[in-house]
Amino acid sequence: MNTRKTALHSTLKTLPDTYRGFNLKRIFTAASYRLLPGACLLCGLSAGHDIDLCSACEQGLPRLGLHCDICANPLNTVGICGRCLNQRPTFSTVQTPLLYQYPVDLLLQHFKFSGQLAAGKVLSQLLARHIKEKTEREKCPLPDLLIPVPLHWKKRFFRGFNQCEIITRELSAQLHVNYSRYTIKRITNTPAQHHLSRKERQRIPGNTFVAGRASQLLHEARVALVDDVLTTGSTVEALSRTLIKEGAKSVEVWLLARTPLDN
């Protein structure tokens, strides 16, 4: 594990370390990633297929096993968790292939806080593949519209990007489903979720999200809301309520990874 962790750190360190605004570093990151694919992000060996992970590292990723049919909380059995039985969420289901554990947590942190696009792209590709396999297996249609979880404009400005938009763009390209970041907007700047206790995270003010300038796209649409990682689910619940109120027919949630509810 330590060797893999060291390999991951050194591989990621070789990439540019920030991604803020429109600058040369950002262009270089995108261009070099396009031109020089093929090394596994975790061990540095040849990836050898359409994703920057070798087969061994990909097989070693922490997969979501048995889980709640609605919120994807890991369970020991099939069915619906107590929390969803108590209070049924507004969204119909949560789809994700991975658990938020090493090395997924490290990849996601490098993507989100250091702007490592390659890490974000790999995780988005794994999610796209999971969705493709599910829709083919269950013969269910893809949604009409993908919507990234919005950041408050101040947070987006200071971070330089919204990681959920980058994931959504990749999913849209892979699955050929339209996306829009203007159907809904966040008007309250809530503190970063990972700094808060679970109780605090569950308190999302009712007026956090409102319709955006393209909210007419929501009319009768089957929507997939795209987030990076789900913890308590209070943000996606608040968003789902607003999307339904603004005319969406149904909302499902797509995530890069799922944190167990009790963590």
Give the interface with Zn ion as residue ranges (CB under 5 A).
40, 42-43, 54, 57, 68, 70-71, 73, 81, 84
Residue closer to Zn ion (CB basis): 42 or 171: 42
**What 8-state DSSP symbol labels residue 50?**
S
Residue closer to Zn ion (CB basis): 43 or 99: 43
* 257/96 Cα distance (integer angstroms): 6
Query: Cβ 105 to Zn ion, closest distance in Å?
Result: 17
Buried b (16+ CB within 10 A) or exposed e, 85-110: eeeebbbebbbbbbbbeebbbbbbeb
CA Rg value for the chain? 18
The residues near 11 (Cβ < 8 Å, ≥ 6 apart) are 39, 40, 41, 42, 43, 44
Residue closer to Zn ion (CB basis): 19 or 100: 100
Query: Cβ 244 to Zn ion, closest distance in Å?
Result: 18
Residue closer to Zn ion (CB basis): 73 or 162: 73
Query: Cβ 44 to Zn ion, closest distance in Å?
Result: 7
8 Å CB contact between 61 and 98? yes
Query: Cβ 132 to Zn ion, closest distance in Å?
Result: 22
